[in-house]
A and B are shown apart, each in its own frame.
Chain A
Amino acid sequence: MPQVLFTLHNGTVMSVAAATGHSVMEAARNNGVPGIVAECGGAAMCATCHVYVDPKWLGKIAAMSDFEDELLEGTGSPRMETSRLSCQIPIDDGLDGLEVTVPPSQY
């Protein structure tokens, strides 16, 4: 299974196995990655699964919808160029080694 590397707020890096077809949010939830809330469960409604994607991966992940783009304006931690909702990034084999950073807060 592809590995996804989450850098936590305290600097620790968690490497988790992510099933293809699952989202980055689901991989985080299933592996106990702290700091990903995902209140709406992956429906892209709440913006509490916000992550910063390492710039070198930005071109390889699924493109952002307008809806996600607008919802990202409501994240609890500041939005940056690399901000994405992790529920909107499906895992495939090409994403083995994907690096994302969990923001300090989701509210």
Chain B
Amino acid sequence: MEKSSVVVAGAGQAALSLVAKLRAEGHSGTITVVGAETTMPYQRPPLSKGYLLGKQKLDQLLLRPREFYEQSAVDLRLGQSIVSIHPASKEVALAGGDVIPYDELVLATGSTARQWPAALGGTLRGIHTLRSLDDAHVLQAELSSAKSVLVIGGGYIGLEIASALRSLNLAVTVVEAQPRILNRVAGPETASHFRLLHQENGVRIIENTAIRRLHGSDRVEAAKLADGQLIACDLVVVGIGGAPETKLAEMAGLHVDNGIVTNELGKTSSSSIWAAGDCTSIDMGGRRIRLESVGNAIDQAETVAMNIIGRRTAYVPRPWFWTEQYGVRMQIVGLSMGHDETILRTETDGKRKSCWYFKNSALIAVDAINDPQAFLAGRRIIDAGILLDMSTLREPEVDLRNLGKTADIR
């Protein structure tokens, strides 16, 4: 309700979007945000791009300046963490011993980067993940003395880091254990485009090859691959995915299945406890999936805010993502997993490419490379549930700006 006291666990994108929406919609109860990091809520996407290279300053990363929290009467408790939730008495306990009562609790705990296993050389110096601002600063400090970098994992984060490091003229090798890069998140056509892009920019890409072990005496010196070859490196960046931060939820007895299980209102299995962002899993077509993206964190958090103040709102996932590598920009709408047909377009200028994914003849996702028109057309079609005539899309001359508006609907 509008006067309820709200406690938020976590201080990232979802937490900020939640409190901003609560206050914008007239919520006047107390709000306490507890976050382990010492920096005010900030954007993570630039950490693997411009910020890593020093092109952006910290104040440009912050989602809101300090005055916002003061003016909005948000008690921002940074550098602190909640260690337990007590649903029966509706209280949380902080590491320092403080106990905070709540009417509504929101878990916005995010995810943590998977680390390279200690048993496979993970304790050597010079091995890093990139998730937080602190991670970015540690990695930045290493870059001045590094010469050859091994990136483990050919997903978006790994590829973005490879792109950033090439602009510093470091030697970069990307090793992917799956059959190809972007295996989980994009089709083979999109993967081929990015493979070539990286190779043209001097990155060595090794796919379908696991790393057996990282070697070194104190600091990492080489990686031994499953096929026996040895890759020399003096810095390793690990980009092998994230795990949802569900520890608190599990301790409190909430239902967890590939993330904290939330319903369409953003509610967990416990009354008065909600969740939003990377830590959640949502139902999409009978599967519990995690949508790790800024857009999802914002939409879920705003949905929870509306429901907390008693204005019932159902969450409708509208997945979209973006990446930028070597100045090539890709916007993605939808989720391509499970597609059974793809149509590849190259526009007449030769620079814009798009990959359209279909399942049972319905468009489910588009990867749009340097092609905002394809992104917007795909979004229009998916949002409206329009059945697209595939032959139209195969016409090289079709104007994407009109696609999904009238004539091509069947």
Contact = CB atoms under 8 A, between A and B. Distances in A.
Chains A and B bind each other? yes
B376 A74 contact: yes
A71 to B, nearest CB: 4
A73 B372 contact: yes
Given A67-B372, A71-B376, A73-B372, A29 B64 contact: yes
B370 interface: yes
Interface in A57-77: 67, 70-71, 73-74
Contacts of A26: 60
Query: Majority SS of interface residues in chain B?
Result: helix
B157 to A, nearest CB: 15
B389 to A, nearest CB: 21
Given A40-B322, A43-B324, A34 B373 contact: no
Nearest to A37: B298
A22 interface: yes
A70 B71 contact: no
A32 B68 contact: yes
Interface residues of B, number: 28
B295 A74 contact: no
B331 interface: yes
Nearest to B380: A74
A70 B351 CA distance: 14
Interface residues of A, number: 20
Nearest to A40: B322
B71 A40 contact: no
A26 B331 CA distance: 22
Nearest to B376: A74
A41 B16 CA distance: 14
B379 interface: yes
B401 interface: yes
A30 B65 CA distance: 5
A74 to B, nearest CB: 4
Contacts of B24: 34
B124 to A, nearest CB: 34
Residue from A26, A30, A41 whose CB has the most chain B CB atoms within 10 Å: A41
A43 B45 contact: yes
Contacts of B43: 41
A45 interface: yes
B206 interface: no
A26 B62 CA distance: 10
Contacts of A31: 65
A93 interface: no
A77 to B, nearest CB: 15
B64 A45 contact: no
Nearest to B331: A45
A54 interface: no
A17 to B, nearest CB: 12
Interface in B217-274: none
Interface string B395-410: 0000001000000000
A30 B60 CA distance: 9
A67 B71 contact: no
Contacts of B59: 30
B214 to A, nearest CB: 33
Contacts of A43: 45-46, 322, 324
Interface string B311-324: 00000000010101
Given A32-B71, A41-B43, 12 more contacts: A22-B60, A31-B65, A32-B68, A39-B295, A42-B60, A43-B45, A46-B295, A67-B370, A67-B372, A71-B376, A73-B372, A73-B401
